[in-house]
Amino acid sequence: MEQKQFQAESKRLLDLMINSIYTHKEIFLRELISNASDAVDKLAYRSLTDDQVGMSRSDFEIWIKADKENRTLTISDNGIGMSKEDLENNLGVIARSGSFQFKEQLDQAKNADVDIIGQFGVGFYSAFMVSDLVTVISRAYGSNQAYRWESSGAEGYTITECEKDQAGTDIVMKIKKDEEGENYSQYLDSYQLRSLVKKYSDYIRYPIKMEMEKSKMKEKPADAGEDYQPEWETYKEVETLNSMVPLWQRNKDQITKEESDAFYKERFGDYASPLISIPVNAEGAVEYKALLYIPSVAPYNFYTREYEKGLALYSSGVMIMEKCADLLPEHFRFVRGVVDSPDLSLNVSRELLQHTRQLKIITTNLEKKIKSELMKLQANDMEQYKTFWKAFGPQIKYGVVGDYGANKETLRDLLLFYTSGEGEITTLSQYVSRMKEGQDFIYYAAGEDTGRIARLPQAERISAKGYEILYLTEDVDEFVLQVLTEQEGKQFKSVNDDDALPESDEEKEEMEKRAEENKDVLAFVQEVLTDKIKEARISKKLISHPVCMTTEGPVSLEMEKYFKMVGGDEKGIAAQRVLELNPNSGAFQALKAAFGEDREKAKTYVQILYNQALLIAELPLEDPSAYSDMVCGLMK
Ligand code: ADP
């Protein structure tokens, strides 16, 4: 018989399972039952549209059989089963879901004392935590041939033909011998197994059955004398171990946080508990129940095309779709969960389903519910809300700018921004509530990080007035403000804008005078930097710094950087740059003097000032070594 090798990744995972010192080995049962339930789901769904299946919902079940003598534990289902190819592909290769994350965490946690196994849905392989030999006997629905897959771990596995009279799968585990500190025999004890099923798999929608050994008092014989001692006898009885009521079908107050979190982790393959869970029980135009979750960390592929949004859709406990994308608006694509409505017809084809009126109503209501729960979190627990923001803030911002701003009013209140004000992070309405007497605008400045923005020369005069500044650190931030245009009637204003602060007539006159006085020097600066800047001007913004770069027109420097990034090398949209000079600075005075005495020297000064403005704006220098030479040339 040919022995086949596991794929490298699977082998590693297996080694880990076999040698695991993990204390929560009991989760193997949950994992196998969950697989069995998925397999039954698949056939149950098929039976709705395909009469050939010849089974009704009540025929489906999962069995647990414990054989103490032979030390075997068997989990059986009459679900869809696996063909030879399925056995090969599904059990010989590391499981798809969660495996990538698992491996990543594994690499990171290699030396750390972290229990990661239990945090992941590691599925089938977990059987090896408690058994030396795993035998899978499976017959795929629609096939007459069954196959036996067998493995005792790392050496590999074999697949042979065998007999099985019904479609479905038996997983037979040869339970390990007890070791010091490890009581494996408990997994052969029916009472222990029953309590594990209750703990982890109570909501599984198909009956999980097991023969329980029970005892009862023997009937008192008619001729029993005075000194009759009651006798006991044991008998066997099949019991359904789970209540089968899905978590989302229960009342809110009947779901504990532990149950809810455990369900989330198991169902959605997350290792972290969700940030919040949102149970919904709706009656009205459409009746439905839903259990939604906001994850506390973004899935590793969340910001890629690979991530699929959607909620699981059920009709009266029967799954119709694993991921119904239409149930979630794009801006809330991070939400996970299930929706169950008796009003949805199971016989509608999946495509048609996407257009039903009921679904639209559910989607709209869920969107409102998600928003209101997030607002509640923001109001009651800002620390937790920040965790949400860290994971999914970018998605909310994309939501604002996407669809030509169609969703901006829904999302506006959810936005957070870094700020120069108290608390370091703020909502827009909090900002407005803190605005000073006489402050007309909501100020913002963009840059790489908050520290750098805080040091921007042009921000100084705004801060000097005691006005708060929003720090825009992400590319999308400026677009967000552009789309929003205002908050509670207050316009957004860049600290770069010349009219950022109101000017008195005297101030205006003063500026004009200054510009006039320095007309020649400014013309000279502009000439030296002909194709680099649109204009050189006397700055209204600078207080202690000599120079800065600002822009004119709708494209800012940050936007230019963004367009460069997304547009590749092409000559994209460029900002119109303005070099602003502080006439009170020593540097400007030196430039002015040089302009009068030595034009070559003045040219060098202009270049230095220009390059410094680039540096402050975090723009690349065109020729760093030439710049360095110029600066060093001053050190004589
Ligand atoms: P996951 O369930 O996360 O995909 P597993 O390692 O648990 O990963 O299982 C791998 C695959 O093997 C499953 O996706 C499924 O296709 C198949 N499988 C496992 N158990 C069964 C079963 N009892 N019946 C049918 N298919 C199964």
- CATH code: domain of residue 324: 3.30.230.80
Name the domain boundary from 384, 399, 429. 384
Residue at 395 is within a domain: no
pLDDT of residue 568: 58
Mean pLDDT calculated for residue range 431-455: 91
What is the per-residue pLDDT for 102?
54
Q: pLDDT tens digits, residue range 317-373?
A: 666 777 889 999 999 999 999 999 887 765 444 555 555 788 889 999 999 999 999
In a domain, 355, yes or no: yes
Burial class for 469, CB neighbours closer than 10 Å (0-12, 13-18, 19+): buried
178-236 residue pLDDT tens: 998 889 999 999 999 998 998 778 878 899 999 998 888 888 888 888 888 888 888 99
Shared-domain flag, residues 490 and 511: no
Q: Quote the domain boundaries for residue 448.
A: 416-494
Residue 400 domain-assigned? no
For residue 244, the CA-to-ligand 1 centroid distance in Å is 21
Tell me, in angstroms, the distance from the centre of ligand 1 to residue 322's CA: 15
H-only helix segments in 314-433: 350-353, 357-380, 382-401, 408-411, 428-433
Identify which of 326, 336, 338 has the alpha carbon closest to the alpha carbon of residue 298: 336
**CATH code where residue 441 lies:** 3.40.50.11260
| Candidate from 38, 100, 166 with most ligand 1 atoms within 8 A of CB, to mutate | 38
- Compute the distance between CA of residue 580 and CA of residue 500 in angstroms, rounded to an integer: 15
pLDDT of residue 552: 86
Span from the CA of 305 to the centroid of ligand 1 (angstroms) = 25
Question: In angstroms, rounded to a whole number, what is the distance separating the alpha carbons of residues 264 and 273?
Answer: 7
How close is the Cα of 76 to the center of ligand 1, in Å? 13
CATH of the domain at 628: 1.20.120.790
**Contact (CB, 8 A) for 168 and 139:** yes
Strand arrangement of the beta sheet that strand 547-552 belongs to: 535-538, 576-581, 547-552
Spacing, Cα 596 to ligand 1 middle (Å): 83
Q: Based on the domain organization, do 340 and 198 belong to the same domain?
A: no
Whether 452 and 542 share a structural domain: no
* pLDDT value at residue 71: 97
* Probe target for ligand 1 pocket from 124, 159, 169, 270, with the most ligand atoms within 8 Å of CB: 124
User: Residue 36 corresponds to which amino acid?
Assistant: A
| Residue of 9, 13, 32, 35 best suited for mutating to test ligand 1, as the one with most atoms within 8 Å of CB | 35
What is the per-residue pLDDT for 222? 84
User: Is 225 inside a domain boundary?
Assistant: no
Domain boundary among 466, 494, 522: 494
pLDDT band of 112, cuts 50, 70, 90: very low
Residue 150, Cβ neighbours under 10 Å: how many?
15
Q: What is the pTM of this model?
A: 0.67
- Are 209 and 259 found together in one domain? no
Distance CA(143)–CA(145), nearest Å, equals: 6
Q: Is 279 helix (H, G, I), strand (E, B) or coil?
A: strand
Domain presence at residue 488: yes
Same domain flag for 308 and 162: no
Residues 476 and 570 in one domain: no
